[in-house]
Amino acid sequence: MVQVSDKVKVEVEKKDAFLGIDIGSVSCKFVLMDTNGKVLTSVFLRNEGSPIDSAKVGMAELRNNIEDNPELKAYAIRCCGTTGSARYLTKAVVGGDLAKTEIIAHAVATQSMYPDVRTILEIGGQDSKIIILRDGIIVDFAMNSVCAAGTGSFLDHQARRLGIPIEEFGSYAVKSKNRASIAGRCTVFAESDMIHKQNAGYSKEDIIAGLCDSLVRNYLNNLSKGKDLDEPVVFQGGVSYNKGIVQAFERHLGCKVLVPKYNVLMGALGMAILVRDYYQEHEQETTFRGLKVADIEFETKAFNCGDCPNNCEIITCSLVEKDEVIARWGSRCGKWSEIL
């Protein structure tokens, strides 16, 4: 039987480490960082069904990483923060101390590497965002609202359709001499346009380069609406691995686009930095459940309240061992109090 403790024993003799978790729509990222901001170890996984499963698998992998590396055993996790679209659920599951939005986390991480950054472009699996900073302060941001045309999932889908592994997508685009023009307004238009171009005999390279170009156009149209995109521009998120997109951005913005070393881990890294500051300010005991989260059973349930015509859908998450509700939301009238 696994013992479930809410508080982790404070191991005074060990060095401080901070854990940032970013569970997004497609992948989850874990970053373990020391006090100086050095990344000790990281985990990058595709999502496994639900955020809870992803958190557990990620924790198990992180534990393996730590056990394999004798250096890391000298560290103890002092504080843990979560971000990404599933941040509240993940916070409840792992016992995080802090949950913040991706926008803040990304901005903090990027500023730690490029202190004078003025524009951050981020394209992930389902979300794309743009963050404008001036003198180190976020002054504006935008996230895609109704359209997923400019995001990684679409590229992934098209790569599969063209029979190219997504990792090589960028290098195909770079090889193109003569870009095909692809409609970027909407994924449906883009796809039928691509099929037409394929059937008309364009080479794969040209089609892919055209697709990258149209994706960037769509992104800029959808998000940057009237914003001034000044240098230095930093581009991150999973799609920034794609050299074709980076080139397209440089072409459209007319300036150099920087891709940071930990381009996909930025959210998690930012969260680790945020909890480090939080820990240094508050110096309180963490509520982190420890790496053994991987072995704890959680159960989520959704039910319709049905007591009034609102008929809210209430979602609860509970610890199976203790039969204790750790998270609940969805109530509109306040009958079921929210637990976050």
Partner 1 sequence: MLISFPNMGPNWVAFKTLFTALDLDVVLPDPTNREAVKIGVKYSPEFVCFPFKATIGDFKNALDKGADVLVMAIDCGPCRFGFYASVQERILRDMGYKDFVMIPLDQADLLEFHWVKTLQQVTGRSDPFIYSKFVKAVIFFVKKAKLLNDIQTAEGLYRAYERNQGDTTRVVKKLLLKLDETNTLKGLRNFKKVIKEDFTKIDVDKTRNPLKVAVSGEIHISLEPYVNLDIRRKLGEMQVEIHQNLSLWDWVVHKFHLNYHRKWLEHLAKPYVPMDIGGECIWVLGEYIDRARAGFDGMAHIYPFTCMPEVTARTIITNKLKKVYDLPVIFFSFDEAMAFEGFRTRLEAFVDLMYSRREHKLAHKRDYLKQDLDDIYHEYGSNFYKECFQMIQNQ
Given the rule CB under 8 A, which residues bind partner 1? 85-86, 100-104, 127, 135, 137-141, 143, 145-146, 225-227, 308-311, 313, 332-334, 337
Q: Which is nearer to partner 1, 127 or 193 (by Cβ)? A: 127
Pairing mode of beta strands 119-123, 128-134: antiparallel
Fill in the amino acid letter for 277. Answer: D
Long-range CB contacts (< 8 A, 24+ apart) of 61-70?
A: 61/30, 62/19, 62/30, 62/32, 62/291, 63/291, 63/292, 63/294, 65/41, 66/32, 66/41, 66/291, 69/41
d(C-alpha 290, C-alpha 305), whole Å: 34
CB of 39 to partner 1, least distance (A): 24
Are 304 and 328 spatial neighbours (Cβ–Cβ below 8 Å)?
Answer: no
Q: Which is nearer to partner 1, 84 or 290 (by Cβ)? A: 84
CB of 264 to partner 1, least distance (A): 19
Q: Which is nearer to partner 1, 59 or 274 (by Cβ)? A: 274
Q: Which is nearer to partner 1, 187 or 242 (by Cβ)? A: 187
Pairing mode of beta strands 75-83, 257-258: unpaired
d(C-alpha 258, C-alpha 250), whole Å: 10
CB of 90 to partner 1, least distance (A): 12
Q: Which is nearer to partner 1, 43 or 132 (by Cβ)? A: 132
CB of 137 to partner 1, least distance (A): 5
d(C-alpha 233, C-alpha 255), whole Å: 8
Beta strands (DSSP E) in 54-182 are: 75-83, 98-99, 119-123, 128-134, 137-143
Task: Tell me how long the chain is.
Answer: 340
Q: Which is nearer to partner 1, 116 or 313 (by Cβ)? A: 313
CB of 283 to partner 1, least distance (A): 22
